[in-house]
Chains A and B, each alone.
Chain A
Amino acid sequence: GESVGLHLPTLSVQEGDNSIINCAYSNSASDYFIWYKQESGKGPQFIIDIRSNMDKRQGQRVTVLLNKTVKHLSLQIAATQPGDSAVYFCAENINQAGTALIFGKGTTLSVSS
């Protein structure tokens, strides 16, 4: 079964607010995590990734936090914009050859102006 899941299926925010999307995973052996964004009718797009030897990684307007103690991953989006409206998926795998990414169910982010 799936080992990656998300806490909330939907999140609604106002433009300009910060958004936090959460993900819990259950496989202790997972050591690589990715966040993808999927807009309606499109394929998932890479946002940011993090390895298990880190607890925080920052990109442009996005930050991923990893808490291995409680097996929790979060994506923070600063100054959320209408263009950020999409479904966000976390994914994990074990960093060895021959393994594929396992995805959670996704959180739908809706940004209103």
Chain B
Amino acid sequence: NAGVMQNPRHLVRRRGQEARLRCSPMKGHSHVYWYRQLPEEGLKFMVYLQKENIIDESGMPKERFSAEFPKEGPSILRIQQVVRGDSAAYFCASSPQGANVLTFGAGSRLTVL
């Protein structure tokens, strides 16, 4: 079992560009969560998705950020027109239906120049 796979592990973008972060959940997991971690801080919940559905996006910024979890393929967190404040580690986690415990990936570290 490969666990939660995130790519890219490191991504560098210039201000105004787009960033796309991918997450493949653990085999058998149908729920995906995205969290953001700023340096020296905790994990901030962003969005919770099931296949083809957004369950809770209360932690997502209103503009420039979007997430999807299509029927086929990985979940994608998309950040348009990135700004320096978007620089952070973005973690994806997954869980089976009805479970509380989240299994996390290794994270994608976004640096905006």
A→B interface (CB under 8 Å): 2, 32, 34, 36, 41-46, 49, 89, 93, 95, 97-106
Contact = CB atoms under 8 A, between A and B. Distances in A.
Interface string B92-111: 01000010111111110000
A43 B91 contact: yes
Contact of B104 (A2, A41, A44, A99): A44
Interface residues of B, number: 23
A103 B35 contact: yes
Interface of B: 4, 33, 35, 41-45, 48, 55-56, 59, 91, 93, 98, 100-107
A41 B106 CA distance: 8
B91 A44 contact: yes
A2 B102 CA distance: 19
Given A43-B91, A100-B56, 6 more contacts: A44-B104, A95-B100, A99-B56, A100-B59, A101-B33, A105-B41
A89 B35 CA distance: 14
Given A89-B43, A97-B98, A98-B48, A46 B103 contact: yes
Given A42-B106, A43-B106, A98-B48, A103 B101 contact: no
A30 to B, nearest CB: 11
Contacts of B104: 36, 43-45
B100 to A, nearest CB: 5
B43 A98 contact: no
A46 to B, nearest CB: 6
